[in-house]
Amino acid sequence: MKKTNKLLNEQINHEFYSAYLYLSMAAYFHELGLKGFARWLEIQAKEEVEHAIKFYKHLVDKGEKVVLKSIKEPPKDWESPKEAFSQALEHEKKITRLIYDIGKVALKEEEYGTWEFLNWFYKEQIEEEDIVRDVLNSLNLIGEDKVGLYLLDKELGGREEG
């Protein structure tokens, strides 16, 4: 199996792990009574599943073998909403690096179709990091202010799917 295809298979797992992580964070926010944060993260989890399916379909369309592996268990608890979103941002940065690495290998192996396929993800990851960074910046501005947290929760709860 070409290294590109191996990395694509691994990326399916990373995307499903992302969904698990965001669902775990959503459960944490439900426990805190912050349903807007939870809804935002549930929608994010759905998007990550869609990303995994895109990688899956790309391999299938290329006639390559799909190898699904176990998804590791995500964390369950965070010290604060700020810590959860700090970890979410670091996670998105990691996913960005992984996708860039696939692109580098695809070019080296002359897998131009895969490199082209990844262009959507390059743009998507910039957006993903930016959105999570915005939430984290809001949490930093709010600090310990409960009213600010309440208002941010209401704002995040208005996130539309899709």
**Domain spans, the chain:** 3-157
Cα atoms in the 13 Å half-sphere on the side-chain side of 72: 5
CA 113 to each of CA 29, 53, 56, 123, 159: distance values in angstroms, whole numbers, following the listed order: 40, 17, 15, 17, 33
Report which residue type is found at 48: E
**Rg (the chain; Cα; Å):** 17
State the Cα–Cα distance between residues 162 and 159, nearest whole angstrom.
9
State the Cα–Cα distance between residues 11 and 117, nearest whole angstrom.
13
Supply the pLDDT for residue 144.
87
pTM for this structure? Answer: 0.94
Whether 139 and 82 have beta carbons less than 8 Å apart is answered as yes
Supply the pLDDT for residue 161.
80
Supply the pLDDT for residue 1.
59
What is the phi/psi pair of residue 64, to 5°?
A: -100, 160
Across the 162 residues of the chain, what is the mean pLDDT of every consecutive 10-residue run?
Answer: 93 98 98 97 98 98 96 97 98 98 97 96 96 97 93 91 74
Report which residue type is found at 112: Y
| DSSP type of residue 69 | -
List all residues 6 or more positions away from 100 whose beta carbon is below 8 Å from its beta carbon. 122
- Return the CATH fold of 3-157: Ferritin (1.20.1260)
